Amino acid sequence: MFLAWKEIKHSKTRFALIIGVMVLVSYLVYFLTGLAYGLAQDNRTSVDKWEADAIVLTDESNTNINMSMMTFEQAGKVRADETALLGLAPSVIRKAGETGEAAKINVTFFGVDADEFIMPEVIDGRAFENNDEVVADISLKEETGIELEDTIQLAGSDKEVEVVGFTENAKFSVAPVLYTTIAAYQEVRFEATDDSANGRISAVVVRDAAESFDEVVADSEKLAAYSIGDYILKIPGYNAQVLTFGLMIGFLIVIAAVVIGIFIYVLTLQKTSMFGVMKAQGISSGYIAKSVVAQTFLLSTIGVGIGLILTLITSLVLPTAVPYTTNGLFIAGITALLIIIAVLGALFSVRTVVKIDPLKAIG
């Protein structure tokens, strides 16, 4: 370690270039990871808020909740300790009085019973009390400026609702969620206010499900139960998005390791004569090899550390509309991978050090 650090201090410019490459690559990896995780979370945060075990949809919907329509009679056949009715309706809204494309906002209406467990915690304002009130995700306030007591209008409809409360972490398929009554959901989705047995809902959310999901829907052949984990993977675009970003980040980590390995290998070749002199003085190949590995460890640690600091600073100044989320576990894992793989890449240089002949190197 002493020899490695002394050489880094002696050839600052040369090693600064290597650290610079590591900083840029690690910064890109960290930033893409934050974006990927944030975007993935924006698809599912409202589902995670349920803290549920399963969701029941119609069998014909193919796990697409937008295509699931069941009667209240069918929903009543679901067997579980706790159940909650859910109506889901994608929609477009705008603040009352505003016009133009810029005023339109994509949202998802959740029709829920305020007494059931999927009703979210209100962090600002109050819960809805009638069919003309909604509780909105806080991102509507942060990104579009909608405030408490503002009136919003549904696009293509005369229906208006008042925002009476805000909740947090409530997005579905990247769109902010508006919680309202099941009757109001019927009006948004079907332009009808009937929430009786003749109405329709999208799903039944289940807690403390039976050991077998088949038992949950045993009384109805038209319904199917899915674990929450399986359902999240079926959210349109979610799985493809996670796999795409995962492959990109994985390749970036490998590329970073290869780049560092190549730099160290080239530097090792340039120092062949110096290593030959060291061997002639009685310094063992093992000691020199350890110095090469230690040098790579120092370079990668410094580069990754600076990249991480820059990423954290960037996350503080990003606009709220950017779906960036920091995950400590991912950061720790990526940091370890970048350093370990870079060190493993440097091991190729050790073979060169071991094969150096002092006489040939000096001559």
pLDDT at 3 over 60: no
309, two tokens: 């600091």
Of the two residues 4 and 54, the one the predictor is more confident about is 54
Instruction: Kindly report which listed range (38-42, 171-175, 348-352) carries the lowest average pLDDT score.
Output: 348-352
pLDDT value for 361: 56
Q: What is the pLDDT of residues 45-89, one digit of tens each?
A: 999 999 898 999 999 988 889 899 999 988 888 888 889 999 999
Question: Three-state secondary structure along 292-330?
Answer: HHHHHHHHHHHHHHHHHHHHHHHHHHCCCCCCCCCCHHH
Nearest-angstrom CA–CA distance, 358 and 206: 73
Q: Which residues contact 319 (CB under 8 A, 6 or more apart)?
A: none
- Mean pLDDT for 198-206 is 87
Instruction: Kindly report which listed range (40-49, 277-286, 307-316) carries the lowest average pLDDT score.
Output: 277-286
22, two tokens: 């590591």
Q: Please give the single-letter amino acid code of residue 69.
A: M
Question: Three-state secondary structure along 31-55?
Answer: HHHHHHHHHHHHHHHHHHCCCCCEE
The CA–CA distances, whole Å, from 181 to 50, 113, 305 equal 17, 6, 49
pLDDT at 2 over 60: no
Task: For residue 180, give the nearest of 170, 15, 265, 34 by alpha carbon.
Answer: 170
pLDDT at 1 over 60: no
Looking at residue 62, what DSSP letter applies? T
pLDDT at 283 over 80: no
pLDDT at 100 over 70: no
Nearest-angstrom CA–CA distance, 361 and 281: 13
Q: Which residues contact 359 (CB under 8 A, 6 or more apart)?
A: 276, 280
**Dihedral sign, Cα of residue 40, residue 41, residue 42, residue 45:** positive
Residue 209: pLDDT band with limits 50, 70, 90 = low
pLDDT at 196 over 70: no
Segment holding 273, helix H or strand E: helix 272-280
Strands 171-172 and 175-180 turn out to be antiparallel
Instruction: Kindly report which listed range (55-59, 77-81, 188-192, 223-227) carries the lowest average pLDDT score.
Output: 188-192
Q: What is the pLDDT of residues 143-170, one digit of tens each?
A: 888 899 889 988 877 888 999 999 999 9
pTM here is: 0.79
- The answer to whether the beta carbons of residues 83 and 72 sit under 8 Å apart is no
pLDDT value for 9: 66
The overall average pLDDT reported for the chain is 83
- The answer to whether the beta carbons of residues 111 and 87 sit under 8 Å apart is yes
Q: Which residues contact 263 (CB under 8 A, 6 or more apart)?
A: 18, 21
Residue 235: pLDDT band with limits 50, 70, 90 = confident
162, two tokens: 């008042």
Of the two residues 5 and 265, the one the predictor is more confident about is 265
Enumerate the domain spans of the chain: 2-44+239-362, 46-236
Helices (H) and strands (E) in the chain, counts: 12, 13
pLDDT value for 197: 46
Of the two residues 319 and 123, the one the predictor is more confident about is 123
217, two tokens: 């829907």
Residue 357: pLDDT band with limits 50, 70, 90 = low
pLDDT value for 208: 76
Q: Please give the single-letter amino acid code of residue 325.
A: T
DSSP code per residue over 130-183: STTEEEEETHHHHHH---TT-EEEETTS--EEEEEEEESS-EETTEEEEEE-HH
pLDDT value for 249: 83
- The answer to whether the beta carbons of residues 167 and 138 sit under 8 Å apart is yes
The CA–CA distances, whole Å, from 275 to 7, 103, 349 equal 13, 68, 12
Give the whole-number percent of the chain exceeding pLDDT 70: 88
pLDDT at 353 over 70: no
- Mean pLDDT for 256-276 is 73
pLDDT value for 163: 94
